[in-house]
Amino acid sequence: MKKVGLIGGIGPASTLDYYMGIINGYMRKTKDINYPEIVIYSVNMTEMISNIEKDSWDKVIIQLTQAIKNLSVAGAEFAAIASNTPHLVFDEVKKQSPLPIISIVEETCKHIKEAQYQSALTIGTLFTMKSGLYSNPLKKYGIASLLPSENDQKEIYSIFYPNLENGIVIAEDKEKMLKIVSRIIKEQNADSLILGCTEFPLMIKQEDLTTPVINTTQIHIDSIVNYMI
């Protein structure tokens, strides 16, 4: 069993999902009564969001790279960033990382390809949507990458932050979000929806929509467990 190092805290609510998801996934797959070893380094989310908003990507890279180094010192054998948005600098961090890193973006794109979806709509933080984080990776697999309009992106982010970011799901917000997402799916004829933010699964469930929902958090967790064992 390999010991995983998680960069968490971006945000805290989804980090809890990763922790329990890895434990449950490991025990389910191995049928082992032992628990997997997990090291978590929780970064300062406020500092990271501030750096992203200021386009201070060098500082984001330094923050993430140092976190991985700390995980390595703590005995982790591989790492994962428990959030979508920081993957905007994944390639740069990977070059400097002392540990192998499992990418949530790459694993999600593989999953979509295996599921044979052709046109995926991505929702996430404003930074994730504006950057087209999933666009080029999806194109590499021959999958059309769809995004909400600029106005819809702002509306989605206003619902997401700060409540959902902190794990708070408000019924009125969920209803509003589902109306927006359902409309965009219909307008753009999307055959799948990428929850490109690790907090979105707290609000949007598969039973809420007829379109297949791609839970990036769960896909990442499954990939971490597979690498671990």
| Single-letter residue type at 39 | V
Indicate the class that CATH gives domain 4-103+218-228. Answer: alpha beta
| CATH entry, 105-215, from 3.40.50.300, 2.60.40.1260, 3.60.110.10, 3.40.50.1860 | 3.40.50.1860
Q: What percent of the chain has pLDDT over 90?
A: 96
113-153 pLDDT, tens digit per residue, is 999 999 999 999 999 999 999 999 999 999 999 999 999 99
169-213 pLDDT, tens digit per residue, is 999 999 999 999 999 999 999 999 999 999 999 999 999 999 999
Torsion of CA 57, 97, 100, 217, to 10 degrees: -30
Instruction: Note the helical H segments in the chain.
Output: 12-30, 45-53, 57-73, 90-96, 104-115, 126-131, 135-140, 150-160, 171-188, 216-228
Residue 161 has pLDDT above 90, yes or no: no
39-52 pLDDT, tens digit per residue, is 999 999 999 999 99
Please name the residues in contact with 54: beta carbons below 8 A apart, sequence gap of 6 or more: none
Residue 166 has pLDDT above 90, yes or no: no
Phi, psi at 108, each rounded to 5°: -65, -45
Question: Is-above-0.85 flag for pTM?
Answer: yes
Q: Are 26 and 222 in contact (CB under 8 A)?
A: no
Average pLDDT over residues 95-116: 98
d(C-alpha 223, C-alpha 102), whole Å: 8
List where CATH 3.40.50.1860 sits in the chain: 4-103+218-228, 105-215
Average pLDDT over residues 83-90: 97
Q: Are 6 and 80 in contact (CB under 8 A)?
A: yes
Torsion of CA 94, 61, 164, 24, to 10 degrees: 30
| Single-letter residue type at 13 | A
Residue 63 has pLDDT above 90, yes or no: yes
Average pLDDT, the chain: 96
